[in-house]
Amino acid sequence: MRSGCIWVSRHDGAVMAVTVETYATAEEAGRALRTGGDARYLGGGTIVMRAINYGDQSFRRVVRATDPALRQVRAQGARVEIGSGVTMAEVIDSRELAFLAPVARWIGGPAVREVATVGGNLFAEHPYGDFAAALLALDAVVTEVGGATRPLEALLSARTRGTQPLITAVSVMRPEAGAFRFAKVSRVKPKGVSVMSIAAWLPQQGGRISGARIAYGAMAATPIRTMGVERALEGKTLDAAGIAPALSAATDGLQPPSDALASGWYRREVAPVHLRRLLLGEAA
Amino acid sequence: MSKTPLQFRLNGAEKAVFVEAGSNLLDVLRRGVGDMTPKYGCGQGACGTCTVLVEGRPRLACLTLAETVSGQHVETAASLSDGPDLDPLQDCFMEHFAAQCGYCTPGMLMAAKALLDRHPAPSREQVVEAISGNICRCTGYEPIITAILDAATRRGRRAG
């Protein structure tokens, strides 16, 4: 383990010390994270370095791992396991992850994608985390250091309570050709921060939807599944009449947050429009 | 305050410096080795004016933990010109008025260089995508896009 120390300016002019600890394995980094309670894990740096630059007082230790296992992509039957340290640029370049490449292209600009990791996106605060919404729609299961697994939904739910374990990999279903769709809505062209994002996995049997999973980004504190939409799509055809009940249920149970990009009211109003466009394959 | 030794190549020259461990690459470049071409803009990865290349790939220096570039090649806008001889990208930025206040220019140039090194004859869409992480509040982007496309043509002519 290597470590060092930096003094970071706080907004009030005082300084704080942050130490950086670098470990060769995820297991060692995981142990270090559990020690002391004042540590943050640094993946690519888009979250933690920003926090350091702005004098975040909520942590005093930065833990990172150089473990090559965190950068692997492995096919596992109908699923694909993605190391948490895999970057968005690597997702775009990966043949195994071709179905996620269009999602990764929506994450930041090219320089951000060089470092932004799959694991980091799971912990990105609203309105970020669009990639996590896509993973959620693809029935993601996360693996924590030590080997324990749980659905991504459980991790996201725990995240709002401040629990942040070290995730080593995310396993997702590999969708059939054409069965996975993603849209990100932004007011900035060609791209910007989300007003909302929608990810839809739409398996079909005999021309009818069976077992759809729909997830939103930027419509709640964390990426979230829309169970009402999923139920309304079951057994339906992907046409205007078939999706009408799903559009009615587009924001059931949701209280979208307001921020500088859009009010919660605006998000609720536009959600059915963008959901319809995605489901019918209409241009945004 | 503890310091960490860091060795890397900057624009082809070996550099060995002591840095405050945990520093970002932008601080090391500007304060540590005196390369003032990458600029501090937002400090949160939103503006792109600190864009440099690490091993030929675009990176935001403000979000890069300095020690992660150990042993690697870092290129900044200072690498583009050879004395008074400007890179075609720089020539084209001047000729097409792609710089006004100039604050975004070093980042724009490096984002463009990363693109042209990988895709010597990019489409307009590829150019727009390549600079999508770089904010310019002066030009409206069109002169920058035109300049990069023109630079690609000139580079191709020179290579041919």
Contacts of B62 in chain A (CB under 8 A): 49, 53
Question: What confidence category does residue A12 fall into, taking pLDDT thresholds of 50, 70 and 90?
Answer: very low
Best interface-test mutation with B: which of A7, A15, A23, A50 has the largest number of B CBs within 10 A?
A50
Residues A126, A218: Cα–Cα separation, whole Å? 6
Residues B141, A12: Cα–Cα separation, whole Å? 37
* Yes or no, beta carbons of B67 and A18 under 8 Å apart: no
Q: In this predicted model, what pLDDT tens digit does every residue of B73-126 receive, in sequence order?
A: 999 999 999 999 999 999 999 999 999 999 999 999 999 999 999 999 999 999
Taking the CA of residue B105 and the nearest CA in chain A, the distance in Å comes to 15
Q: What is the reported pLDDT for A21? A: 93
Question: What confidence category does residue A3 fall into, taking pLDDT thresholds of 50, 70 and 90?
Answer: low
Q: What is the reported pLDDT for B160? A: 65
End-to-end CA distance of chain A: 49
Q: What is the reported pLDDT for A162? A: 60
Contacts of A66 in chain B (CB under 8 A): none
Question: What confidence category does residue A174 fall into, taking pLDDT thresholds of 50, 70 and 90?
Answer: very high
Inform me whether the pLDDT recorded for A10 exceeds 60: no
Residues 6+ apart with CB under 8 A from B143: B96, B97, B98
Q: In this predicted model, what pLDDT tens digit does every residue of A236-276 receive, in sequence order?
A: 999 999 999 999 999 999 999 999 999 999 999 999 999 99
Residues A62, A33: Cα–Cα separation, whole Å? 9
Antiparallel, parallel or unpaired: β A39-41 and A61-65? parallel
Q: Which residue on chain A is closest to B4 by alpha carbon? A: A4
Residues A42, A241: Cα–Cα separation, whole Å? 47
Question: Between A19, A54, A190, which is nearest B43 by CB?
Answer: A54
Average pLDDT over residues A24-34: 95
Burial (CB < 10 A; 0-12, 13-18, 19+), residue A73, is middle
pTM for the whole structure? 0.93
**In B8-104, alpha helices (H):** 25-27, 88-95
Q: What is the reported pLDDT for A284? A: 67
Crossing angle of the two packed helices B142-159 and B105-118, in degrees rounded to 10: 40
Residues A227, A230: Cα–Cα separation, whole Å? 5
Q: List C-alpha distances in Å: B23 to A17, A43, B95.
A: 12, 15, 37
Q: What is the reported pLDDT for A163? A: 57
Question: Can you tell me which residue has the tokens 């943050």?
Answer: A40
* Yes or no, beta carbons of A5 and B22 under 8 Å apart: yes
> How many other CB atoms sit within 10 Å of the CB of residue B16?
9
* Yes or no, beta carbons of B2 and A112 under 8 Å apart: no
**Complex prediction ipTM:** 0.95
Best interface-test mutation with B: which of A22, A112, A121 has the largest number of B CBs within 10 A?
A112
End-to-end CA distance of chain B: 53
Q: A127-136, A160-169, B42-51, B108-117: lowest mean pLDDT where? A: A160-169
* Yes or no, beta carbons of B64 and A49 under 8 Å apart: yes
Contact A44, A107 (CB under 8 A): no
Q: Dihedral (C-alpha) A245, A248, A252, A255: value to the nearest 10 degrees? A: 150
Inform me whether the pLDDT recorded for B159 exceeds 80: no
Is B22 at the interface with chain A, CB within 8 A? Answer: yes
**In chain A, alpha helices (H):** 26-34, 48-53, 88-93, 101-104, 110-113, 118-121, 130-137, 152-159, 227-233, 240-248, 264-280
Is B17 at the interface with chain A, CB within 8 A? Answer: no
Peptide bond into A165 cis (omega under 30): no
Q: In this predicted model, what pLDDT tens digit does every residue of B39-78 receive, in sequence order?
A: 999 999 999 999 999 999 999 999 999 999 999 999 999 9
Question: Between B1, B45, B58, which is nearest A50 by CB?
Answer: B45
* Yes or no, beta carbons of A7 and B20 under 8 Å apart: yes
Q: What is the reported pLDDT for B17? A: 96
* Yes or no, beta carbons of B64 and A115 under 8 Å apart: yes
Give me chain A's average pLDDT, please: 92
Q: What is the reported pLDDT for A7? A: 45
* Yes or no, beta carbons of A112 and B24 under 8 Å apart: no
**Helix, strand counts (H, E) of chain A:** 11, 15
Residues B96, B147: Cα–Cα separation, whole Å? 6
Q: In this predicted model, what pLDDT tens digit does every residue of A62-91 receive, in sequence order?
A: 999 999 999 999 999 999 999 999 999 999
**Sheet with B51-54, side-by-side order of all strands:** B13-20, B3-10, B73-75, B51-54, B57-60
Antiparallel, parallel or unpaired: β A15-23 and A61-65? parallel
Q: What is the reported pLDDT for B4? A: 87
Q: List C-alpha distances in Å: A259 to A250, A256, B118.
A: 20, 10, 37
